[in-house]
Structure 1
Amino acid sequence: MDLQKTVRPQVPDFEPYSPGLAIEEIRERYGLGRVIKLASNENPLGTSPVVQQALAENAALAFRYAQAGTPRLNRAIAEHLGVPEGAIVTGNGSDEVIDLIVRVKARPGVDNVIAFKPSFSLYRLQSKLCGVEFRQAPLNADFSFPWDDLLALADENTALCFVTTPDNPSGYAPTAAELEALARRLPPQCLLVIDEAYMDFVEDQDAHSLLSRRDEFPNVAFLRTFSKMYGLAGLRLGYGVLPEWLGDYCRRVKLPFSVNVLAEIAGIAALADRDFVCATRTAVCEGRSYLRTELESMGFRVHPSHANFILVDMPADAPFDASALVEGLLRRGIIIRPLGSYSLPRSVRITVGDGEENREFIRAVREFIANA
């Protein structure tokens, strides 16, 4: 028997997640000494010194298993947000929590999941792996959300509705009033999952998030991460703020040690370091404004963004396209994100770096244009 033919039918044509290019990969490809990465929406200030110290002081604990369910971290997150501890489910990145929600809430071969297009590819990938139909409604041309189009996809078997805010790759954030209206209009069996990976960068969060009013919405779950604002992308740490019944089910079925002991220590330390969060917000706000001003002066269109990245369209009369710009910058040691996988071939996404990185990026773009 050919065992390859016995795997689940969803697997053979499965498309894996497409990550951004790595620094070492570009350094080796082009023989570069220094590479600036502005492609993966990482924190421009790196990892908090307070967190680094906590990791150094506890490195010897790496041989220990973490306490199953990370109760200390759950308690710290719950206190930080003012929510019940039973609502918190931590994971190996918010990716794991997305996977848990799909596997727990959606019935294979029966239910469907709805989202906008483009959206975070893991919503589609994990739905497909679980044998759940995935439906998408295209965004408006300005990347705002056509709520009626999304709701038109829902029926009596819609288990989940994913909405990302601020959205990726545009940085667009709908109002809390819009999200409230969506939550109230979805079918009664549908759980609205609001992915707030970038919400920490929004200046007025209450104007764009329902999290502070979660008690009013028993059909809403929230996803957040330590990868962006807290600079812990490499440690893989995220969490969900879920209805407590769903939190209970997810904790029952999740792998017991998916969050390692050092990630838990780092997360607790990160939540306590308010100075680093404040400094990060300032760096992102100033850097985002600088990049917008400089790129617009060169004819690029920069979309408004509430996140730590910007979506940029090529100048209409440019003698180059987005792929040429991406390649030209790679040769100069700068990584930005092409958006062909988002069906946006004329656009790129640029992470806000620190001051020096942003200036070097702008210098490289000007040099590229001069030689295009």
Structure 2
Amino acid sequence: MQPTDRIREDVREFTPYAPGLSMEEIKERYGLARVVKLASNENPLGASPLVKRVLARKADMVFRYPRAGNPALVAALAEAHGVPRGCVVAGNGSDEIIDLLVRVTCRPGVDNVVAFAPCFSIYVQQTKLCGVELRQPPLGPDFAFDLPALAGACDAKTALVFLTNPDNPSGYAVPADQVVALAKSLPPRALLVVDEAYVEFADPEADHSMLPRWGQCDNVVVLRTFSKLYGLAGLRLGLGVMPEWLADYLLRVRLPFSVNLLAEAAGIAALEDTPFRQASLETVLRGRRLLAEKLTGLGCRVYPSKANFLMFAPPSPQCGAADVFKALLGRGIIIRALKSYGLPELLRVSIGNDEENDLFLAAMKDLVENGC
């Protein structure tokens, strides 16, 4: 017997999630003292000062378990988003909510899940891990949502339909009214899971988010994260807003204390720090306009984005996406190559702070004018 014979056959084919390269890896590889990371869509201003103070005060309590169910956090989330407390499930990142939704609603070997191609890799991995068919109609031209095709891929055994709005890696988004129409067109059993990880940047947010329309549809789940606008990627905190009956079942099977004590405290503090949140949003929107204008001026094809990143194609086949990616790494600037999304000719750059954006643009200008 081989050691791998003890592993499920379908799991042997898995490849791990491919995160962006870390700053430490690039420093060591290229002998650099400073690295600018614009690869993971993190907050360009870091973490809220209020969050930092709260974490310092809570550090002495890390030997204690958090309160079961995180009631203080759930209450704060419900108030912030204007939804009933019983509809909120907090998780160890929104990834945990995705995993729970698949496990709770999908019957292995019977049901199917529908999402566009390409899509967030966690949708793919968790459905495969649970032995559930994933159906993936392609995105439309220029990465637009072909919502009729998404609905058309569903049948009576469709358990979940994932829609990331705004989408990653393109930044494409549709108004929430179109999402409501999609939800109402799905088969009776299907739940529409709207992943709004980037919706705060879809100016104006209220036109694109389903949360202001909560209650218009009884088959919608909305996912949010603290990893982007709130600057808490390292603490892993996310939430799902869903029908109360569904939230009850997710909480029955969720691992105990999956949201740790520091993440809970940081989440509550982040919700309270409105000035930091507004400053972060203004920095991203200003940077997004600047990068789109300057990259276009350099001859890049820049895709319209409602997120805190831009997807673009370099202007010259002789200095293609892979070449630009490697050349930027050598200069200490990390962006995201999109080969893992099946888009080897494209790149994604997160919006940084003003200095980081200027360094990236100066490097791009040099590469375009002088070659990779």
The TM-score by the shorter chain falls in which range?
over 0.9
Give the Cα separation in 1 of the matches to 2:368 and 2:215.
52
Name the residue aligned to 2:53.
53
Gaps of 5+ in 1: none
Q: How far 1:293 moved relative to its partner?
A: 1.3
SS at match of 2:136: strand
SS at match of 1:99: helix
Name the residue aligned to 1:365.
364
SS at match of 2:239: strand
Worse-matched range after superposition: 187-196 or 342-351: 342-351
Give the Cα separation in 1 of the matches to 2:152 and 2:351.
36
Asked if residue 116 in structure 1 is aligned to residue 116 in structure 2, the reply is yes
Q: How far 1:344 moved relative to its partner?
A: 1.2
Give the Cα separation in 1 of the matches to 2:48 and 2:211.
25
Asked if residue 161 in structure 1 is aligned to residue 161 in structure 2, the reply is yes
Name the residue aligned to 1:309.
309
SS at match of 2:311: strand
SS at match of 2:142: coil
Give the Cα separation in 1 of the matches to 2:89 and 2:82.
15
Name the residue aligned to 1:330.
329
Cα-to-partner distance string for 1:309-332 (whole Å, 9 max, x where unaligned): 0011121x4421100000000000
Name the residue aligned to 2:318.
319
Name the residue aligned to 1:26.
26
Q: How far 1:9 moved relative to its partner?
A: 2.9
Name the residue aligned to 1:342.
341
Gaps of 5+ in 2: none
Letter matched to residue 354 of structure 1: N
Give the Cα separation in 2 of the matches to 1:71 and 1:2.
47
SS at match of 2:96: helix
Give the Cα separation in 2 of the matches to 1:260 and 1:159.
30
SS at match of 2:18: coil
Q: TM-score, normalised by structure 2?
A: 0.98
Give the Cα separation in 2 of the matches to 1:319 and 1:87.
52
Moved over 6 A (4+): none
Give the Cα separation in 1 of the matches to 2:317 and 2:159.
45
Q: How far 1:100 moved relative to its partner?
A: 0.3
Name the residue aligned to 2:67.
67
Give the Cα separation in 1 of the matches to 2:318 and 2:2.
52
Name the residue aligned to 2:12.
12
Worse-matched range after superposition: 45-54 or 4-13: 4-13
Name the residue aligned to 2:244.
244
Identical columns (%): 55
Name the residue aligned to 2:231.
231
- 1:94-113 correspondence to structure 2 within 5 Å: 94-113=94-113
Letter matched to residue 349 of structure 1: R
- 1:163-178 correspondence to structure 2 within 5 Å: 163-178=163-178
SS at match of 2:348: strand
SS at match of 1:304: coil
Asked if residue 198 in structure 1 is aligned to residue 198 in structure 2, the reply is yes
SS at match of 1:137: coil
Give the Cα separation in 2 of the matches to 1:24 and 1:68.
36
For these two proteins, the number of residue pairs brought into alignment is 371
Letter matched to residue 339 of structure 1: L
SS at match of 2:326: helix
Q: How far 1:8 moved relative to its partner?
A: 2.4
Letter matched to residue 197 of structure 1: A
Give the Cα separation in 1 of the matches to 2:200 and 2:369.
37
Give the Cα separation in 1 of the matches to 2:35 and 2:121.
27
